[in-house]
């Protein structure tokens, strides 16, 4: 429509008329595997029902249940309810979930997934992120996300990594910005979650953007950036 601007105009092949996109490597990318990932401050373990009791214990300090507000599940009334959910969630291949074990606590304190996995399009998403209160805003939280981001972009060679969230989820929107994702737009009233309308905000990192993003996060995660109590000396968003 006249007067409308596309936020991020797509690349095109200059030799074509009408314009079409540039040619890309059409080799399907590998599917993620249920393997552990080890970091400097955190380990990711393929989610298993054996993590359920630790996850339920970690969730108990969220007395307001704010951590579940934008997820399609939770909070869980008791340990058996958490165990039932985790038992099923751990068996899905898309999303594929990992439990997060920070070195400082030694317990499973959250989970996250790779999802919307499209090998033929080389597109993949990081999502279903749940951090217990004791893990939020920590080095381990950032590194947990980075481990899966790096796995998708470097180990598996995907060309597009997506982050999407409820458009009202301000902490998730800030996290996407800190991690180097680019805002793409908001789809209005896209879903119904827990009986409520949800508009969804989209972000992405493309393959040619990844090296600079990875270098910035790696520099922030370096041991020299952290005081003995685990406090970061500089902000990742700086």
Please give the Cα distance from 19 to 40 (Å, whole number).
Answer: 46
Strand partners, 124: 161
In this structure, are residues 101 and 140 in contact, taking their beta carbons and an 8 Å threshold?
A: no
The DSSP annotation for 1-27 comes to: -TT---SSPPP--TT-SS--PPP---P
Whole-angstrom distance, CA of residue 231 vs CA of residue 174? 19
What does the pLDDT read at residue 10?
86
Q: Strand (E) positions, 7-90?
A: 37-38, 42-46
Residue range 28-53: mean pLDDT, rounded: 98
Any idea of the CA torsion for 62, 98, 146, 7, to the nearest 10 degrees? Answer: -80
- Domains of the chain plus CATH, in order, are 37-225 (3.40.630.30)
Please, are residues 190 and 208 in contact by the beta-carbon 8 Å criterion? no
Residue 9's pLDDT band (cuts 50, 70, 90): confident
pLDDT in tens, 142-197: 999 999 999 999 999 999 999 999 999 999 999 999 999 999 999 999 999 999 99
Q: Are 43 and 37 in contact (CB under 8 A)?
A: yes
DSSP structure string for 187-232: EEEEEEETTEEEEEEEEEEETTTHHHHHHHHHHHHSGGGB-TTS-B
Q: Evaluate whether 58 touches 132 at the Cβ level (below 8 Å).
A: yes
| pLDDT score recorded for residue 3 | 58
Closest C-alpha to 51, from 110, 92, 91: 110
SS3 track for 93-151: CCCEEEEEEECCCCCCCEEEEEEEEECCCCEEEEEEEEECCCCCCCHHHHHHHHHHHHH
Residue whose pair of structure tokens reads 């996250």 in the numeric block: 112
What pTM was estimated for this model as a whole? Answer: 0.95
Q: Is 139 left (phi over 0), alpha (psi -120 to 50) or beta?
A: alpha
The CA distance from 227 to 94, in Å, is 38
pLDDT digits (tens, 9 = 90+) for 107-151: 999 999 999 999 999 999 999 999 999 999 999 999 999 999 999
């Amino acid at each position: 429509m006249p007067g409308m601007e596309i936020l991020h105009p797509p690349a095109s092949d200059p030799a074509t008329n009408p314009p079409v996109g540039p040619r890309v490597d059409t080799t399907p990318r590998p599917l993620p595997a249920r393997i552990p990932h080890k970091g400097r401050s955190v380990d990711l373990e393929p989610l298993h029902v054996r993590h359920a009791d630790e996850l339920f214990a970690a969730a108990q300090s969220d007395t307001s249940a704010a951590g579940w507000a934008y997820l399609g599940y939770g909070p869980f009334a008791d340990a058996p309810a958490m165990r039932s959910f985790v038992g099923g969630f751990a068996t899905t291949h898309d999303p594929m979930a990992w439990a997060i074990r920070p070195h400082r606590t030694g317990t499973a304190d959250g989970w996250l997934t790779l999802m919307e996995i499209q090998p033929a399009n080389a597109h993949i998403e990081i999502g279903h992120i749940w951090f217990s209160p004791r893990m939020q805003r920590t080095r381990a939280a950032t590194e947990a996300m980075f481990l899966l981001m790096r796995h998708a972009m470097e180990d598996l060679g995907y060309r597009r990594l997506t982050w999407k969230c409820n458009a009202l989820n301000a902490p998730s929107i800030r996290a996407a910005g800190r991690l180097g994702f680019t805002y793409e737009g908001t789809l209005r009233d896209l879903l119904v979650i827990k009986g409520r309308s949800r508009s969804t905000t989209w972000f992405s990192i493309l393959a040619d953007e990844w090296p600079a993003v990875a270098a910035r996060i790696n520099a922030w995660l370096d041991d020299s950036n952290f005081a003995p109590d685990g406090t970061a000396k500089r902000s990742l968003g700086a």
